[in-house]
Amino acid sequence: MNAIYQLATLFVLSALGCSAGSTSEGAVASEPYTGTASVTQGPATTTVDNLFPPGIRIAGLGEIRATDGTEWTVPASVAFTDDAYPFASDLHNVYGEAYPSAAVAVAALDGSDIVEVEADGEVITGYLFGDNYFELYVNGVAVGKDRVPFTEFNSSIVRFRVSRPFTIAMKLVDWEENLGLGLESNRGSAYHPGDGGVVAVFKDTSDDVVAVTGSNWKAQTFYTAPIRDLSCPTETGSTRSSNDCSTVDSDNGENYYGLHWELDTGWEREDFDDTSWPDATTYTNEQIGIDNKPSYTDFTDVFDDTANDAMFIWSTNVILDNLVIARYTVE
């Protein structure tokens, strides 16, 4: 290690409240962090107590300062309270409407839910189940956001008028109860790393499938936590991987790290170049664990259609990556 690099390493560790070769209540900073992320340590300051009081879990927002001086909103900056951004319609929502089938849910819509992206286009209907929260754009136009940021789990319908080709872009958030740490209370631990995942099916007016989530989508992560050891994340090209990092529960994760990247400008637009982004990673129903969630299992004829089976997608780490952008162009 040359002198300049050593000084830079010591500066980062000092800013994180650690000395080289020391540990800090389960977090390890003995090896220098060499990635491109902005690094935070410890819990965030709560700025919004709860976006959705009826929910079983608290969906708060927080702010946290990184070692480079940047401020980050955790788990993500969202449009949940923005009245100009439309909510998606219910497919199954215990706090709203829970329909017995997708056909019945669509029949209940009066047309006012259809977002006009292009006036001379066709109406596309999307069915989504997200763990935990999504905001969906088509060609840069806000089409629908999740009605339930955290839990109980729900599924949704979006409808929009557009001409092909068109680009779907989704902001996906795996919520956290321990803000800034990527952790929730679960399975007997107050510091349990939760998981994400989204599945979606899009159909035209003839009820023909025009797109399903799968490995042909792009998916990039922008917030990863908890990180116990700053030497475990790796970056290869545009792939930000935390697959070598621990995902086990903890008795105290208050000094773990978070990795943050700025969202790319224009990520929601159709002309954004995502060719360098990693392909989405697919996950099975068993990996996501949806066998006890009626908001999914009541609609397997849509999500698990044998002719057009939609896969759960996320970035390369469905447990530690908490803010993901997914994109796909329907030709």
The answer to whether 35 touches 240, Cβ cutoff 8 Å, is: yes
Exposed/middle/buried for 189, CB within 10 Å: 0-12, 13-18, 19+?
middle
pLDDT average per 10 residues of sequence, the chain (331 residues)? 36 39 52 91 98 97 98 98 98 98 98 98 98 98 98 98 98 98 89 96 98 98 97 97 96 95 98 98 97 97 97 98 98 95
Tokens of 23: 């540990």
62 beta partners = 46, 74
Q: Among 109, 42, 271, 305, which Cα is nearest to 199's?
A: 305
DSSP string of 120-170, one letter each residue:
TSEEEEEEEEESSEEEEEETTEEEEE-S-SSSS--EEEEEEEEPSSEEEEE
Specify the 3-state DSSP secondary structure of 110: coil
In this prediction the pTM is 0.92
From CA 290, how far away is CA 304, in angstroms rounded? Answer: 12
Q: What's residue 19's pLDDT?
A: 33
User: How are beta strands 281-283 and 209-212 bridged, if at all?
Assistant: unpaired
